Structure formats: C-alpha cells, structure tokens
C-alpha cells in the first residue's frame, strides 16, 4: 500500500522505513528541508542502530520517498500517519498538540478524496474527537481519524517495530480494523497480537503503558534506597519479585532515574488528562515527584563520597538517558553535571555519541574523546549510562589514583570484585550509604 508518515522523527522515520521494508511505498514527509536533504543522501538524521542501512536499502528501490511536498505525499497515499511531536507545555505541563492540529488541517486542505488519518503520535484521550471537530469545521467529510500508538524504545526501535508484543488499533468504526490488519499482517504472522478497541481506548493504552513502566522503574528505585539502608542487594529483590510472572522481570533495573522523550512527558500527560476529566491520578503524580527528587539524591551521595566537591576531578562515563541513543532529553546528567559544576568540581565526560551542546556553557566541564583520557586523573568516576564499551573497563589500568572512587549508577560492576581489587566502589541499592 501507499502510506504517508507526517513527521520524520524517532517515530515517523523508524515506522516509515520499517513499513517500506515490509513492501509498502512510503512517503516520509517533513517540513524540515535539512532533514529531508540528509535522508535523501541515505543517512538518518537521528541516532538509531541499523536505521541507515534500512534507509539505503529501501530508498534505493524506490519504496521510500522523502519529501517536503505535502500535497504530493497526501495525494499518493491511502493511509496517513500523524507522527509529529507532542511535547509538554512548559507552563501548564499539558500536552502541546499544535503540531497534530496543524498536520490534520493541512491534510484536510490538501484533498477532498477519501483518506484515513492514523494518529501514531502519543496523544491524550479525546484528541481523536477534537480532530473530528477540526475536520467537520473544514467540511472534510471524507476523512476519518483512528488511533495506532507506537511502543518503540529508542535504541531498539527497529526490533520493537519488527517484533512488537501487540499492535493496538483504536477506532469507533470497525471497518478500519481490516485495512490496519492488512498492513501489519507480516508482523502478525510472526506472532504479534492484533488488539482492537475504541479510539479513546487506544489513546489511553499508550499513556497507561508508559506510565506503568515509569511506575515500575520508580518502585524499584525507591526499594533501592531502602536496600542501601538495610544492606540488601536490590538485584536480589528485582529477581525475587520479577520471577513472579504477574510482576515480570523487565523494567526492574534500579538506576539513576528514568529519562528520555517519553516517560517524563507521558506521565505528565496522563496527569493532565486526569485533571481534564476530574480524576485524581495520585500514583502517577507521586511517580513524577519521586523520579524528579531522585536526581538530587545522587549529588547528595557524591558529596558524602567526596567530602567536598570543590576542585575534585569527576569523570562521567556516558551522559545520554540510556545507551544506543544520542538523546539527552531528561537525562539525569542534565541535573547532576551543572549541580556538581556549581559546587566547584572539575568535570570531564565521555559519551560514544560525542560532545553535547547542553554542557558547552559550563566553564569547568569538558568533553574527552575517549575513556582513558576521560578517566585517567579522576578522583571520582561516575558510570551514568550503561554503554557496552564501559562494561569491561579495567579501572586500575586507566587510573593510577590510589584513592580513586567509583559511583556506578547502573550497577554494571560486581561489588565483591571491586572490593578484591581494592577500589572504593559505590552503586545503587547494593551497599550502605550511611
Ligand atoms: C519508552 C518505552 O519503553 C517505549 O515503549 C515507548 O514507546 C517510548 O518510551 P524509551 O523512552 O525509548 O522507551 O526508553 P526505555 O528503554 O523505556 O527507558 C526509559 C528510561 O527508563 C531510561 O532512562 C532508562 O534508563 C530507564 N530504565 C529502563 C530504568 O531505569 N530501568 C529499567 O529497568 C528500564
């Protein structure tokens, strides 16, 4: 089929390229001329492992068309996916739907033909109803709106598209389930569940899923705090809990705090939906508060570990919100590094995805191009992001400081091994921080 993805960000580009790889002809549409130019050169403007190869493969056989020409893309496509951003409004903390509204208005103005608009962007409950109103006002009676949320993790997005646990389609007109089942059939043949519900149901499933995952992570993070006061290993708790199939072992890894472009945005988005429909979502509110507060806990621990931070050399290994992405959105490092800089520490950082604009304005924070240069004269090494290349570092080899301390925010290393190597090692939920 001919599909159009409006928006070529993390969701639109990955979904478009993967749909093309399933044999569809996909028009990837974006207003950003620079982005389209990069895509036409066969490159991905975003860091997503494996995406460049898929773009080249499908672009070379004409299954992918990158364009800024909305009229052409819409006229050629039967299904139109809305994949534009839905950021959080700074002041109200509500979801900014302006890009979604504009995209739908432009589609309505560009055609009178029968089209199906599919919202893949994460949109609050009731957005489909609002889009119906917009279309009605524009006398666009031939365009319907359904919901098909995505569940792609950055860094694993291609795998998550190809092997989804479930495809969720929300529509109040059952006739649309057939065409959606058709485009996802190759994935259903490999075992993915095809789940249909109302349009509002699909909109809420997305927020509910992300908010629950954020809750699960925050739960284990708070238990990690308890473990530090009771000398229990949080890894044992995660295993002991996770072996219960009703709980499940995934997303029970204690860490710095959740970050990224989704959990922070979607937990706030769900609370604002609750407010709109006069329902107090107290658990999600407490998750947001707990996660935000957690970032301060780490700098307090660092002050305990170092005594004073003034003039101390601190080396960060990784600064992105998770490995296999260059995304810095809501990364814990964005709070920790400026705070430590204010306390007078001399900070270095290395990240496989390179130097970050977010830290360029800090006077005592520099980017080092490799692990050794970054760590060699540190007083404290902070393992912030669990990139594979950090997993076998021999700290004694790269740093001769007898009083070297390590703070492992991802529990990548083994407590006993560090003890036997006489390295002063701190981690999350595995030893006392009294
Ligand atoms: C998330 C959802 O997983 C995905 O389904 C949705 O479509 C988009 O949002 P993403 O934000 O890309 O994906 O990353 P994810 O792997 O979920 O991690 C989010 C944050 O939680 C990261 O900061 C990660 O470090 C943290 N995390 C994750 C933990 O701290 N512990 C865990 O066990 C898992």
Could you give the angle at the alpha carbon of 68 between the alpha carbons of 66 and 70, nearest 5°?
A: 105
Residue 92 CA to ligand 1 center (angstroms) comes to 24
Ligand 1 pocket (Cβ < 6 Å) reads 150-154, 210, 213, 217, 251-253, 255, 258-260, 262-263, 321-322
Residues carrying CATH 3.40.50.720, the chain: 2-197, 296-426
Atom of ligand 1 lying closest to residue 152 CA: 7
CA 195 – CA 151 distance, rounded (Å):
13
Closest CA to 408 of 422, 387, 396: 387
CA 12 – CA 388 distance, rounded (Å):
27
* b/e burial code for range 51-66 (CB count within 10 A of at least 16 → b): beebbeebbeeebbbb
The residue nearest atom 25 of ligand 1, judged by CA position, is 322
The residue nearest atom 13 of ligand 1, judged by CA position, is 153
Q: What are phi and psi of 196, to 5 degrees?
A: -110, 145
Give the active site residue among 28, 227, 262, 309.
Answer: 262
Counting runs of H as helices and runs of E as strands, what totals does the chain give? 16, 14
Largest CA distance in the chain: 74
> Encoding tokens for residue 376?
């060699």
What's the burial of 50, exposed, middle or buried (CB within 10 Å: 0-12/13-18/19+)? middle
Atom of ligand 1 lying closest to residue 221 CA: 30
Residue that the structure tokens 């033909």 belong to:
113
- Is residue 254 within 8 A of residue 428, CB to CB? The reply is yes
The residue nearest atom 21 of ligand 1, judged by CA position, is 258
- Is residue 79 within 8 A of residue 118, CB to CB? The reply is yes
The residue nearest atom 10 of ligand 1, judged by CA position, is 153
Atom of ligand 1 lying closest to residue 331 CA: 23
Instruction: Tell which CATH architecture fits domain 207-288.
Output: Orthogonal Bundle (1.10)
The residue nearest atom 5 of ligand 1, judged by CA position, is 151
The CATH number of domain 296-426 is 3.40.50.720? yes
Please state the CATH superfamily assignment of the domain spanning residues 2-197 in this structure. Answer: NAD(P)-binding Rossmann-like Domain (3.40.50.720)
Determine the residue of 46, 250, 260, 290 to mutate for testing ligand 1's pocket, defined as the one with the most ligand atoms within 8 A of the Cβ atom: 260
Residue 121 CA to ligand 1 center (angstroms) comes to 17
Helix axis angle for 127-137 and 199-230, nearest 10°, is 150
Residues carrying CATH 1.10.1040.10, the chain: 207-288
CA 271 – CA 284 distance, rounded (Å):
7
Can 262 be counted among the known catalytic residues? yes
Atom of ligand 1 lying closest to residue 385 CA: 25
The pTM assigned to this predicted structure is 0.96
pLDDT by residue, tens only, the chain of 434 residues: 999 999 999 999 999 999 999 999 999 999 999 999 999 998 999 999 999 999 999 999 999 999 999 999 999 999 999 999 999 998 988 899 999 999 999 999 999 999 999 999 999 999 999 999 999 999 999 999 999 999 999 999 999 999 999 999 999 999 999 999 999 999 999 999 999 999 999 999 999 999 999 999 999 999 999 999 999 999 999 999 999 999 999 999 999 999 999 999 999 999 999 999 999 999 999 999 999 999 999 999 999 999 999 999 999 999 999 999 999 999 999 999 999 999 999 999 999 999 999 999 998 999 999 999 999 999 999 999 999 999 999 999 999 999 999 999 999 999 999 999 999 999 999 976 65
């Amino acid at each position: 089929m001919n599909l159009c993805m409006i928006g070529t960000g993390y969701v639109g580009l990955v979904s478009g390229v993967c749909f093309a790889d399933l044999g569809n002809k996909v028009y990837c549409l974006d207003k950003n001329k620079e982005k389209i130019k990069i895509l036409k050169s066969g490159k991905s403007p975003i860091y997503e492992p494996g995406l460049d190869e898929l773009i080249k493969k499908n672009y070379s056989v004409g299954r992918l068309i990158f364009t800024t020409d909305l009229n052409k893309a819409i006229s050629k496509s039967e299904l139109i996916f809305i994949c534009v951003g839905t950021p959080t409004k700074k002041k109200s903390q509500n979801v900014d739907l302006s890009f979604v509204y504009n995209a739908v208005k432009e589609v309505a103005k560009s055609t009178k033909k029968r089209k199906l608009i599919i919202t893949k962007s994460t949109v609050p409950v009731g957005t489909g109803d609002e889009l119906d109103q917009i279309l009605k006002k524009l006398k666009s009676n031939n365009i319907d709106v359904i919901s098909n949320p995505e569940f792609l993790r950055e860094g694993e997005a291609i795998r998550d598209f190809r092997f989804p646990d479930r495809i969720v389609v929300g529509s109040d007109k059952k006739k649309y389930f057939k065409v959606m089942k058709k485009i996802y059939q190759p994935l259903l043949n490999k075992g993915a569940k095809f789940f249909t519900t109302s349009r509002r149901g699909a909109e809420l499933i997305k927020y509910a899923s992300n908010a629950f995952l954020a809750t699960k992570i925050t739960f284990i993070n708070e238990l990690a705090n308890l473990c530090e006061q009771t000398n229990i290993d949080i890894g044992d708790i995660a295993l002991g809990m996770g072996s219960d199939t009703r709980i499940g072992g995934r997303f029970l890894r204690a860490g710095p705090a959740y970050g990224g472009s989704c959990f922070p945005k979607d937990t706030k988005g769900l609370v604002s939906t609750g407010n709109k429909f006069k329902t107090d979502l107290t658990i999600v509110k407490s998750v947001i508060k707990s996660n935000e507060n957690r970032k301060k806990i780490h700098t307090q621990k660092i002050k305990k570990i170092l005594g004073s931070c003034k003039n101390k050399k601190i080396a960060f290994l990784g600064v992105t919100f998770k490995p296999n992405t260059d995304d810095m959105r809501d990364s814990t490092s964005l709070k920790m590094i400026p705070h430590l800089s204010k306390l007078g520490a001399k900070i270095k950082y290395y990240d496989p995805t390179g130097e970050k604009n977010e830290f360029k304005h800090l006077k005592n924070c520099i980017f080092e191009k490799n692990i050794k240069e970054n760590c060699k004269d540190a007083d404290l090494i902070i393992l912030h992001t669990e990139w594979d290349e950090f997993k076998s570092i021999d700290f004694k080899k790269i740093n001769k400081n007898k009083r070297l301390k390590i703070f492992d925010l991802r529990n990548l290393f083994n407590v006993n091994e560090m003890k036997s190597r006489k390295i002063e090692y701190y981690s999350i939920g595995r030893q006392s921080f009294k």
